[in-house]
Amino acid sequence: MCGIVGIVQRDTNKIGKNIIDSLKKLEYRGYDSVGIATIDNNQVIVSKEEGKITEVIDKIQLDDLHGKIAIGHTRWATHGPPSKENSHPHTDCKNEIAVIHNGIIENFQSLKEELVIQGHVFRSETDTEIIPHMIEQYIQKDQMELKDAIIHTIRKIEGTFAICVLSSLDPDKIYCAKRDSPLVIGINSDRMFCASDIPAFLSHTRQVVLLHDDEFVTLSHDGYEIINFTNMKKVERRPYIVSWKPEMAQKGGFPHFMLKEIHEQSSSLADYIRIKQPSLHKIAEKVYDAKKIFLLAAGTAHYSTLTGENLIRKYAKKACSSIIASEYDSISPLIDEDTVILPVSQSGETMDTIMAIKDAKKLGAKVLSAVNVIGSSITRHSDEVLYLYAGPEIGVAATKTYTAQTLSMWDIGLEIGRISGELGNNEYNEARKLYNKIPTIVKQSIVRNEARTNRIASWFAEKNSSFYLGKGVNLQTAKEGALKMKEIAYIHSEAYPAGESKHGPIALIEDDYPVVFIAPKDQTHKRMIGSIMEMKARGATTIGVIEEGDKDICELVKWKMEIPKGYSEMITTIPYVIPMQLLAYYTAMKRGHNPDFPKNLSKSVTVL
């Protein structure tokens, strides 16, 4: 996964700085190297380096670049390790054509061999570098115009891509195209943008044009022209206005995006509840009518689908399974016309999920998705989409999108309950009332626990390993809590069903070993007490996420995090995860890690 951005502007002012500002907003898409190409004096100038944007700015003066036109790239390595040579932009032999690319070219080996025979010299190990050389080849050997050469090139490419091309042969236009990787256009009175994601230009414009697969765009400072590069037909598409405020893409006064996004949860969940989506009823009906139901997701989103799985079983009374997207092959033989696939994703670009739903669609399944990013790839492969309305999430560790995903599962679940009659009229209304209170209880959970988790974190930060135990619906809360601790604090954490912990994991318990219990006052309460005593007896230090004033557990745990009472078990999976997010954040702080850029992780994984 990578972030790409291109700018064509009326004047030559600060183009380097503008590109850098946009790239910073895209750093969540990858951050192992950075590069920019501009045209100055009819020469293509490429500056690139390995490292995060701020480190690269220290090394080379990217800010000072001038020109009317520039493209920039922030990379997350797929072909070839992070290095200066492998950084984008890549150029042709004569240094006249510069290309940036997000995606993977599957047939690049064979294309590269042909080009090498033709005498082209390659400087990197990337798949991307074949693009400028192929364009050069078409121009030299077939006397093509630049634009035609680009279109011929991308038609030959197999795989996924969003590309931007800039060339001294046509020095005031950017050409871009996409297939399966994201690309959007932003329109401002004196400059035009193309980028992987909207936050890249949100501080300049809110007018956005979404691109579809197989579309090719010519971008000049005063306009854009879209054509479909497979049938060469012109595409008319008007911009729409995004409602995100520009500051939503910044971290404001919060030290990290992650903390800001934790705090944002009460308002993002309230947004979701406020916006009534017609697709909800259609999704619920289709799920209820289906014979087989599979929820499909990766990472954090997978844990949110466990709520969906529980609710569909409960209210539709149907066998339903939550499957990790990369393990889709194991259910592929079961897919037919009576199957519903429910993919859940933040970015809507998770490659494992996209490949799975493409296959399921071929086999006749209906695809009903819950996605945060509007117009993303998954939404275009779906029959119905429920949007999460969580706004852009920049912190690599998912927080507000996890709670939004879980909330959408409750939303679908309750609707199914109403349709199936499992929830009577009164029951349904009561449940909805409670559901509407979720933003309030989330707010209280943050306020009451932040200082406490900060204190617990001082102790937790010294540990190397921990367990998170839960039961029933809150097994997923334990799993999500453990994942957050791994992702950003780099402390080994495992989640187990509380009852399962004595079948193995308990052997690892020693003095002062941290065990976190998700123990709301529901039907799991008694069994959780048993489990706490078991762990305590073996010397573990126990930490409880409990209902406020729960005396039984209060006395058993060393540290407690309390969630306001008066809310039934129905919605515990959302508020009970809040202290887990805070605990992971503050533990990362005490250990000196930056939670916004966890090592080895990227925001959404758009490679297989």
Which positions lie near other proteins, rule CB under 8 A?
247-248, 250-256, 259-260, 263-268, 444, 447-448, 450-452, 454-455, 586, 589
Strand ranges (DSSP E) for 63-132?
Answer: 69-75, 90-91, 97-105
The torsion angle over the Cα atoms of residues 405, 406, 409 and 413, rounded to 10 degrees, is -160
Q: Answer yes or no: 2 catalytic.
A: yes
CB of 268 to other proteins, least distance (A): 8
Q: What are residue 187's DSSP bridge partners?
A: 192, 207
- Say if CB 68 and CB 14 are below 8 A apart: no
- Cα(93)–Cα(132) distance, rounded to whole angstroms? 8
Distance from C-alpha of 564 to C-alpha of 84, rounded to nearest angstrom: 52
Nearer to other proteins, 94 or 245 (CB): 245
Distance in angstroms (rounded) separating the CA atoms of residues 281 and 536: 47
**Distance from C-alpha of 301 to C-alpha of 349, rounded to nearest angstrom:** 13
DSSP-assigned states of every residue in 393-453 = --SSS-SHHHHHHHHHHHHHHHHHHHHHTSS-HHHHHHHHHHHHTHHHHHHHHHHHHHHHH
Shortest spacing between CB 411 and other proteins, in angstroms: 21
Per DSSP, the residues of 185-218 read: EEE-SSEEEEESSGGGTTTT--EEEE--TTEEEE
Q: Helix (H, G, I), strand (E, B), or coil: what is residue 463? A: coil
What is the C-alpha to C-alpha distance for residues 516 and 469, in angstroms, rounded to an integer? 6
214 or 271: whose CB is closer to other proteins?
271
Q: Which of 2, 164, 194, 320 is catalytic?
A: 2
Closest by Cα among 552, 543, 561 to 524: 552
In three-state secondary structure terms, 249 is helix
Is omega for the bond preceding 89 within 30 degrees of 0, making it cis?
yes
Nearer to other proteins, 248 or 419 (CB): 248
To other proteins, the closest distance from the beta carbon of 132 in angstroms equals 37
Give min distance, CB of 594 to other proteins, in A: 12
**How near is the Cβ of 577 to other proteins at its closest, in Å?**
17
Q: Which of 25, 260, 366, 603 is catalytic?
A: 603
CB of 589 to other proteins, least distance (A): 5
Q: Which lies closer to other proteins via its Cβ, residue 248 or residue 363?
A: 248
Residue number, 14 or 251, with CB nearest to other proteins: 251
Nearer to other proteins, 319 or 451 (CB): 451
CA gap 135, 258 in Å, rounded: 42
Which of 282/590 has CB closer to other proteins? 590
**Paired tokens of 357:** 């739903």
Half-sphere exposure for 34 (CA within 13 Å, toward CB): 25
Kind plus residue range of the DSSP H or E element containing 356: helix 351-362
Residue placing its CB nearer to other proteins in the complex, 163 or 582: 582
Shortest reach from residue 274's CB to other proteins, in Å? 14
Residue 88 CB, nearest distance to other proteins (Å)?
28
Element containing residue 550 per DSSP (H, E): none
- Annotated active-site positions, please? 2, 603
